[in-house]
Amino acid sequence: MSAIKGHEILLCDLDAFFASVEQRDHPEYREKPVIVGGRPDQRGVVAACSYEARKYGVHSGMPISRAEKLCPDAVFLPVDIERYRCVSAEVFAIYERFTAQIEKVSIDEAYLALPAEKGFETARKIRKTVKQELGLPISAGVSVNKLLAKMACELAKPDGIKMLRPEDVPKEIWRLPVKELPGVGPHTEKKLKQAGIKTIGQLAKFPKNRIIKMLGSVGESLHEFANGIDTREIETEQEPKSIGEETTFPKDVYDREKALTTLLKLTEQVGYRLRRKKLMGRTVTIKIRFGDFRTITRSRTLEEAVDADGTIYRIARELFLSNCGKPPWRLVGVQVSNLDKGSYEQVSLFSSIEKKERQLSKVIDEIRERYGRDAVKRATLISRKESSEQKRL
């Protein structure tokens, strides 16, 4: 039942993280509903909201426009992800004082492994330290595996702590609706409901093979989760599998050049992030969301891993042009996957054109780091000569 024998698992989760940081740094926002989300004037959804805002029925993922109707007096703030990342790093530095076994789940959430019997006491200390040193509310769940630690934390929120033993599962977990189970989103919830399954307890007692028939391999883990069984280990070092960026236009776009310019900008940011992490990737994927919300992705996998803006953009551009269909476009995105750390330094592998592209990207990185993002600009269009040269790659 336990992921690691003789260990306890902690799940630490900062409460309403983005909103809490804002309330901490702006005392005037405290006790008020705070809604952090996409820029107020543009289209967007709620990324985080304070507990005061939740009272009005606001929750993450909700369109900002709807949140405004539910809670017009709320403080609406843009997502300042840079700052939340800094604060998050400070929180993780506190975790480090207690254990090296830390798995980062997201910006505000981490699993920690601790020796048996130490879990609850450590969770208590972590919460106290985070509150004292950083002034942030944080909840913690303690149990024998990840799933139960997570569920314990959900029950502890907000600003609480809870220990859950496997024998508590029937009493404490089974009464909850299935959507409370991690991994059950709206789609899975609907499928389960069609089978008459509404609570975690009903799922736990349902024949496992029928759940698997309904949900495939996810069904198997969900059924085990419902019974408090989870064999996942703590993964302290997880390499990213993809790096991508996407953006929704403030207004639907009909102009192809405008869409391409945006795609270039996104590509440059993705390329920059790759190079900073010394990663390269073999698969380039673009994403297009049309005016009617229909969304497609199209990808191409290359012979060699790439990290140069020019190279990535050339592929992205081709993919866009051959798949863009009819405007309007609502969103475009670009992603590089099939990542590989090894190839970054292996200069000899690259053709001379690719070497030049990589050099150019790195020079641009330096200029931008010194003089700012707008110091250099790349042309969207690729000259005929250049593109025919590239085809020989």
Position 297 contacts DNA (CB under 7 A): yes
Residue closer to DNA by CB (options 228, 359) is 228
Given 132, 238, 348, 352, the residue binding DNA (CB under 7 A): 238
Q: Which long-range contacts (CB under 8 A, 24 or more apart) does 158-166 make?
A: 158/15, 158/16, 158/51, 159/15, 161/120, 161/123, 161/124, 161/127, 163/119, 163/120, 166/1, 166/228
Structure tokens at 237: 């070092």
Given 99, 335, 343, 361, the residue binding DNA (CB under 7 A): 335
Position 380 contacts DNA (CB under 7 A): no
Position 338 contacts DNA (CB under 7 A): yes
Q: Which helix (H) or strand (E) is 141 found in, with range?
A: strand 138-143
Residue closer to DNA by CB (options 59, 118) is 59
Please report how close the Cβ of residue 385 comes to DNA at its closest, in angstroms.
27
Per-residue binding string, DNA, 252-291, x by CB under 7 A, is: ------------------------------xx-x---x--
Position 295 contacts DNA (CB under 7 A): yes
Q: How far apart are CA 159 and CA 146, in angstroms?
A: 19
Specify the stretch interacting with DNA by CB under 7 A; choose among 102-110, 134-142, 203-211, 359-367: 102-110
Of 289, 315, 321, nearest in space to 301 by CA: 315
Position 182 contacts DNA (CB under 7 A): yes
**With contact defined as beta carbons under 8 Å apart, do 244 and 283 qualify?**
no
Given 209, 236, 242, 359, the residue binding DNA (CB under 7 A): 242
**With contact defined as beta carbons under 8 Å apart, do 311 and 389 qualify?**
no
Going by the DSSP 8-state scheme, the letter that residue 53 receives in this structure is: H
Handedness of CA 280, 283, 284, 286 (dihedral sign): negative
Position 184 contacts DNA (CB under 7 A): yes
> Which amino acid is located at 294 in the chain?
R
Binding residues (CB under 7 A) for DNA: these are 13, 17-18, 38, 43-45, 47-48, 60-61, 63-66, 105-109, 182-188, 215-218, 221, 238, 240-248, 282-283, 285, 289, 293, 295-301, 330-331, 333, 335, 337-338
